[in-house]
Amino acid sequence: MSEVSTVYGPVNSWRLGRSLGVDLLCVNSICSFRCVYCQLGRINVHTAERRVFVPTRKVLEDLGRSAWREADCVTLSGSGEPTLAENLGEVICGIKLLTSKPVIVLTNSTRLTDAQVRRELCGADAIFCKLDAADEKTFRRINRPVEGVTLRTVVEGIKKLRAEYAGHLAIQFMLTPLNIGKCAELARILLEVRPNKVQINTPSRPVAREWFLAARGNLRVDAACGSRLKQLTSSDVARFAQEVARLTNLKVNARAQSCAS
């Protein structure tokens, strides 16, 4: 494990610029979801339990050795759900002290009902919260959560974070054939949450069958070793985004893009 770096990139991100990735879970793929489109492939450890997977000291040493000066920001996502790492808050503080770069967290929103997790996230400059469904059945079909996690708890957690967090909070919505008919229902939830921005993505990459560490970066899985989901067209995505913007008056961006978390 010690030879595997928790830091990768910087990779070019269309929304974040040159983004240096920090992976607090790189011992395996670890997440409270098993999303149908996950670019990591099958999540091996399906859990909502928090623990320290990699010591903070190692993460900060890896960061010190990395090309962080070339990055525009540092992003916590990696091999699963970053809020499952119990040292998330400590690492965010350490990154800020060492680099002074903006810190971004991509979360699947499943641990946001936990006040300790929200406190830790308040150290980040921007938080991207996943929300892929507007009803429980679609939520279970797309995100395949661990037992006890429901759409209701996810939305409740995002609303609590919104009330406590003064930074930039964006909602990431992955548009698929399973949720494209739910625009009005999504808009109703967004009006309750009041994010700074809504990002509509659609899966554009093949889904790897097995987890492998390089999937945490910008890597494109070869179509021969992955399966491709039924894709929507860019005009489907643009129409959906326009309708969300019309119904909510929120700032909405749209793009065909796969994501890890």
For residue 38, the minimal CB distance to ligand SF4 (Å) is 3
For residue 242, the minimal CB distance to ligand SF4 (Å) is 25
Cβ atoms of residues 66 and 22 within 8 Å: no
For residue 65, the minimal CB distance to ligand SF4 (Å) is 26
Q: Does 124 bind ligand SF4 (CB under 6 A)?
A: no
Task: Report which of 111, 92, 109 is spatially closest to residue 101, judged by C-alpha positions.
Answer: 92
Cβ atoms of residues 134 and 182 within 8 Å: yes
Q: Which of 33, 68, 173, 211 touches ligand SF4 (CB under 6 A)?
A: 33
Instruction: Report d(CA 10, CA 71) in Å as an integer.
Output: 6
Cβ atoms of residues 240 and 187 within 8 Å: no
Burial class (CB in 10 A: 0-12, 13-18, 19+), 222: exposed
Place of tokens 């903006």: 102
For residue 176, the minimal CB distance to ligand SF4 (Å) is 12
The interface region with ligand SF4, picked from 14-22, 30-38, 58-66, 224-232 by CB under 6 A, is 30-38
Q: Which secondary-structure segment (H or E) carries 95?
A: helix 88-99
Residues 101-120 that bind ligand SF4 (CB under 6 A): 108
Residues 146-185 that bind ligand SF4 (CB under 6 A): none
Q: Does 59 bind ligand SF4 (CB under 6 A)?
A: no
Question: In sequence order, which residues have a C-beta less than 8 Å from that of residue 233 and are 6 or more positions away?
Answer: none
For residue 232, the minimal CB distance to ligand SF4 (Å) is 17
Residue 113 sits at φ, ψ, to 5 deg, of -75, -10
Q: Does 260 bind ligand SF4 (CB under 6 A)?
A: yes
Q: Nearer Cβ to ligand SF4, position 39 or 99?
A: 39
The interface region with ligand SF4, picked from 29-37, 113-121, 145-153, 218-226 by CB under 6 A, is 29-37
Instruction: Report d(CA 30, CA 34) in Å as an integer.
Output: 9
Burial class (CB in 10 A: 0-12, 13-18, 19+), 254: buried
Q: Nearer Cβ to ligand SF4, position 81 or 120?
A: 81
Tokens of 151: 């759409």
For residue 238, the minimal CB distance to ligand SF4 (Å) is 23
Cβ atoms of residues 50 and 86 within 8 Å: yes
Q: Does 81 bind ligand SF4 (CB under 6 A)?
A: yes
Q: Nearer Cβ to ligand SF4, position 130 or 182?
A: 130
- The residues binding ligand SF4 (CB under 6 A) are 31, 33-35, 38, 40, 43, 80-81, 108, 130, 260-261
